[in-house]
Structures are given as C-alpha cells and as structure tokens.
Amino acid sequence: MKTLYKYETVYEELLTLARAGKPNDGFPTEMEIARRFRVSRFTARKALNMLYKDGAVYRKTKTGTFVAPPRNGKRIAVALPFENINDSKIMDAILDNNARFGYEIDVFFSHLNMRKERGILETVLAKKYDGLLFSPSNDSGHADLISRFILSRVPLVLMDIEILGFDLPLVCSDNEGGYYEIVTHFIRKGLTKFLFIMPESAESMSSVRDRYRGYCRALLENGIPVRLEYIFQPNCFGNNFLTLSVKEQNAVQIKNAHMLHEYCLSLPDPPEAVCFINDASAVWFINYLQRYDAGLLDKVTMIGFDGLTVGRKLNLSTVRQNFYAIGKNALLTLDKIFAGETPKSRTEIKTRMILV
C-alpha cells in the first residue's frame, strides 16, 4: 500500500469536503486549511492546487475559493505564450468565470516557440478537445493545423492576435484606439514629432500593426504627415530572439538601444517623443539613456504599451490593457459557440492611458 505524502492526505480530505458542498459554496482558505489540518501553508497550498487542477474548486480573484459546479462533460484547452503576470490575469479570468460552466480546462504554454506551439495544436486535435482558447505567436503560422480545427468543427477562439486567412472569433485589446488616444493626448500638449519603433520581428503581429495604425491616424487627423525618417526598424531582434539565453537577450536589447540612440542623434530634426510597441522595449531604452545620455532622456517623451508597473518609476507614459477582460470574454465567446450561437467576429477590450 502506497504511503501518502502529507499534502496528498490533506487533498483527500478536502476533496471529500468539496464533494459534500453545494456548487458555489465558500471553501476554506489556505490559512484555514493549514490550521485545520495542522500543516504548513506550503502543504495546504499544494493540496489546494491539486483541487484547482481537478476542477473540484474554483477561485475568484480578490474574493476567495468556492466549490465548483459539476463538470458538464466538455474539455477545453488554453494555449498562452507565457506564464507571466499578463497571461496569469487571462488565466485567472478563465478559471474564475468557468465556475458558471464547469468545463474541464487544460493549460499549455508555448513561450512563443513556433515548434512548441505547433505541438500544442497537434495535441489538442489528437486528444479531441471540445474547444481551444488560443493566443498565437504571430498571425501567419500553422495554417494547415488551423484549417483542421475548422474542418473538424472544433471551436477556436483567438486572444490578442488574429490569424491571416481565417475568419475566427478574436478577443483583443483596442490596440488602435489605445495608441491613437495616447498620441493624440501628446499632440494636444504641443508635440508634433513622434518616432515610432517597429522591429522587423513584430510585423507579423496584428496587435502591433493596429498600434501603428493608431499612431498614423492620430498624426493625420491632427494635420501631421507620417514621415519615413520617424519610422525606425531595428533588425537585430531576429525571429529566434526568445530562444536565446537571458545573457544573449540582454546583449541584443543593449545593441538595439544603442542603435536607436545613434539614430535619434543622427536626425537633423530630432523627435520629441519615441513610441514603442510595448513597455519592455521602452524600459530597455530608458535604462540605456539613464546610463549614457540622461540629457536626451530629459528632452524626449517616452510612450509605451501594456501598463507595466515598472514604467511609472521611469517616467514612461503607456496604455494599460485589461487582460482579465480578454480572458473572460474569450471564455464567454467559446460558450456561445457551444450553445449554437454565432459570436462576434471581433471583440475589442477598451484600454486606458497611464500618464506620467
């Protein structure tokens, strides 16, 4: 007979408790479990995580843990790029709102690796999942597998990025509107010269193209022409950037920041603002200027996109995305498909400016 670890024993007790409860009843917290069974919080957390994975309980952010309703027999997959804070918010929303539906959910992470992402899609098809919530690496990959989803009538809802050539429901941020709003804000503050950073590796992302469209629309609607010298395209990221070691990635980021700095200095008519496709790129450039050219940093407004907390400490104005709403609406869209309804082809989640 196998000897159970302490957390497994606690898990068995909690599973019995969950099965005896009514759907949506409150469930003991991690601390309450630790006190009740006289175990450490680490042991209580491991036992509780097993319950989450089994679907016996669900959690609501900032509210607590609850007894899950009976499973409805459908199993769905969620494929996300990273296990970072943004994708965690998407996953929290899916788990929180799944309390209404009782789907069995399996989560996969691609880390923006196309080979790994392809393997995830093949697994979802081979194991005959009932549906997929998918945040793709780019908008032009895996056309053969995407077509198999459609022909097999396996519902697929995209998050963040569309896939060219396929009419699939998409839930994303209002990327164009967000960038339009923040550039328009600074035009009204008197700025007219905005340098936009468009890495080659980002061209295959519909979210980035939408942000660029918002940038162009803001300029044109305010009588400012789009100037080619104000579109800077560093080419040293490469498609394999995310497969590099942390040390190698840092070296690439420093090289890009150096190239951008040199480009800004070479312009006869220097920019008054630099527009980045995300906060992470902006933070690298700001850190570089703090070390090598703090004077330029004082003269130029930095604009990002994502709403990372670190940006506030670096005087980075940005656009915050509501990742929780993206996850929630993606799940609701998939449920509508299961119910036989025709979902909206595109659901855009409103963004919010964070100004410094």
Fold of 6-67: Arc Repressor Mutant, subunit A (1.10.10)
* SS3 state of residue 197: strand
Which CATH architecture fits 75-168+323-349? 3-Layer(aba) Sandwich (3.40)
- Burial bucket for residue 272 (CB in 10 Å: 0-12, 13-18, 19+): middle
φ, ψ of residue 318 in degrees (nearest 5): -150, 180
CATH class of 175-320: alpha beta
- Condensed to tens digits (0 to 9), the pLDDT of residues 99-134 reads 778 888 999 999 878 899 999 999 999 999 999 999
pTM value > 0.85:
no
* SS3 state of residue 19: helix
Torsion-angle region of residue 325: left (phi > 0), alpha (psi -120 to 50) or beta?
A: alpha
Q: Give me the residue label for tokens 């003269």.
A: 299
- How far is 182 from 111, CA to CA, in rounded Å? 29
Spell out the domain ranges in the chain.
6-67, 75-168+323-349, 175-320
Distances (CA, A) of 64 to 24, 57, 60: 11, 10, 5
* Helix H or strand E encompassing 80: strand 75-80
* Ordered per-residue pLDDT tens for the chain, 356 residues: 556 788 899 999 999 999 898 888 899 999 999 999 999 999 999 999 888 877 788 887 778 888 887 767 799 999 998 877 788 899 989 988 887 788 889 999 998 788 999 999 999 999 999 999 999 988 888 999 999 999 999 999 999 999 999 999 999 999 999 999 999 999 999 999 999 998 766 666 899 999 999 999 999 999 999 999 999 987 655 555 656 677 887 788 888 899 999 999 999 999 999 999 999 889 999 999 999 999 999 999 999 999 888 777 888 999 999 999 999 999 999 999 999 999 999 999 999 999 98
**Per-residue model confidence (pLDDT) at position 36:** 93
What residues form DSSP beta bridges with 196?
Answer: 231, 275
Q: Note whether 75-168+323-349 and 175-320 share their fold.
A: yes
Q: What is the CB-side half-sphere exposure of residue 24 using CA atoms within 13 A?
A: 7
Angle of helix 41-54 versus helix 6-20 axis, rounded to 10: 50
- How far is 128 from 143, CA to CA, in rounded Å? 19
Query: What do you get for the CA distance between the two ends of the chain, in Å?
Result: 63
